[in-house]
Amino acid sequence: MESAAERDQSQAPWLAHFMRRGVPGGETMRIATLYGPRDFRLEEWDKPQITADDGVLVRLRAVALCGTNIHYWEGFGQIGPGIPVAYPLPGGFGHEFAGKVVAVGPRVTRVQVGDRVALDPSEGSACGSCFYCAMGKTNHCEQPRHSSLFGFVEYMTSYERGLYKLPDHVSTDEGSMLSAIACSVHGVRRALTPGDTVAVLGSGRLGLFAVAAAKHLGASKVIATYKYDFQAQMAEACGADVVLRGTEAGVEEKIREQAGGRGPDVVVETVGGWANTIQQATDVVRNYGTVVVLGTFNDKVPVDTWQAMYKDVAYVFSYINCRQGSRTDLDLALEMVAKGKLPSKEMVSHRFPLEEIQAAFELMTRKDAGPQKAMQVVINP
């Protein structure tokens, strides 16, 4: 069996791309490092500097908490295929950010100092010329360029590509959500034909974003399941035509009934964790339908492959976001927010400074606690 030291060593080359310290320049920044399950600590690191002509330095003002961050914080999940989380994890692998441009390289023309931007780290670091980049699938770039340490940090460097200027009426906190919205947009775009009936399993933020994306992209009817009452209200606000409690008896039959008796054309799974929702999606989708998997799971999950075969089910496992056709998923996500296609301002339920990151993560693990329910928690470094 591979020892912890051997595992960490095998992980190091992959992590080194992201986790090198910045070029020393006398200035430092604060970062949050995850030293183990439920153990964030603040540290001082060198403030990064621009090293490329198309480089951009961004002062992060909002970093949204993601479900995968919760997995890491609880001791589950993978940093990459076959690469389990190893500690310490500088920056905590936060990956949904927005902030203000504070410096640009000499070849940068699309943004300028003072612009508020959302960042797509995979698009920004993509080489632009490999097999996958040529297809627009920058999320699978084979030769990604170096970017500074990112995550729950005060500053990070990126590149001109992958920056999205925020309109004046879109807040920086909302901008930090765009990457997550784009993930849901990505999965829905891969499966939806306008006019389809769509069921979304789960009304956490990925589920809510999927509801809004399905509506925006032309679904004729969207059915959403939820766990908490406040999620049901938000699902309706995002455009769901029908909301059903996911844990109630007979919910699968109710979903099929709402989809004409035969089941939805597309089922989007967004729960992940320890849930059996891939099997639930297989149960309710119509014959020749499509199941889109957006949730990340803490373990391997069983699926009745005989049932899937007899029903001719197509499965789409969707990994973050990229360009599809002439537009990126994040560009479409920004359009949805800018046009008010989802209540993004209302979805930001809690804000914490960097020094209170522990409290932020604790809140996210008990979503129904307190008078104000946790929907989207944002760290403001």
Classify residue 6 as exposed, middle or buried by CB count within 10 Å of its CB (0-12, 13-18, 19+): exposed
Which tens digits make up the pLDDT trace of 206-260?
Answer: 999 999 999 999 999 999 999 989 899 999 999 999 999 999 999 999 999 999 9
For residue 79, what pLDDT is reported? 67
The residue among 283, 259, 258, 254 whose CA lies nearest residue 269 is: 283
Tens digit of each residue's pLDDT (9 = 90 or more) over 1-13 = 333 334 343 333 3
pLDDT of residue 110: 93
Confidence grade of residue 352 (pLDDT, cut at 50, 70, 90) = very high
For residue 270, the one-letter residue type is: T
Q: Mean pLDDT across the stretch 64-74?
A: 86
pLDDT band of 372, cuts 50, 70, 90: low
**Which of 336, 356, 358, 357 shows the shortest CA–CA distance to 347?**
336
Question: d(Cα 269, Cα 294) in Å, to the nearest integer?
Answer: 6
Better-scored residue on pLDDT, 77 or 180:
180
Tens digit of each residue's pLDDT (9 = 90 or more) over 284-333: 999 999 999 999 887 889 999 999 999 999 999 999 999 999 999 999 99
The tens digit of pLDDT for each residue in 177-200 reads 999 999 999 999 999 999 999 999
181 in Cβ contact with 333 (< 8 Å): yes
Q: How far is CA 201 from CA 25, 70, 162, 225, 268, in A?
A: 48, 19, 30, 5, 6
Q: Identify which of 166, 167, 19, 43 has the alpha carbon closest to the alpha carbon of residue 99.
A: 166
Q: Is the pLDDT of residue 20 over 50?
A: no
- Homologous superfamily of domain range 183-317: NAD(P)-binding Rossmann-like Domain (3.40.50.720)
Calculate the average pLDDT of the chain: 90
Q: Pick one of 3.90.180.10, 3.40.50.720, 3.90.226.10, 3.30.1360.120 as the CATH number of 4-176+343-380.
A: 3.90.180.10
pLDDT of residue 25: 55
Torsion from C-alpha of 250, 256, 259, 265, nearest 10 degrees: 130
- Single out the residue of 4, 2, 375, 39 nearest to residue 208, CA to CA: 375
State the Cα–Cα distance between residues 62 and 164, nearest whole angstrom: 14
Per residue in 120-150, pLDDT (tens digit) is: 989 999 999 999 999 999 999 999 998 788 8
Q: Domain residues of the chain, as ranges?
A: 4-176+343-380, 183-317
213 beta partners: none
The stretch 33-54 carries a mean pLDDT of 93
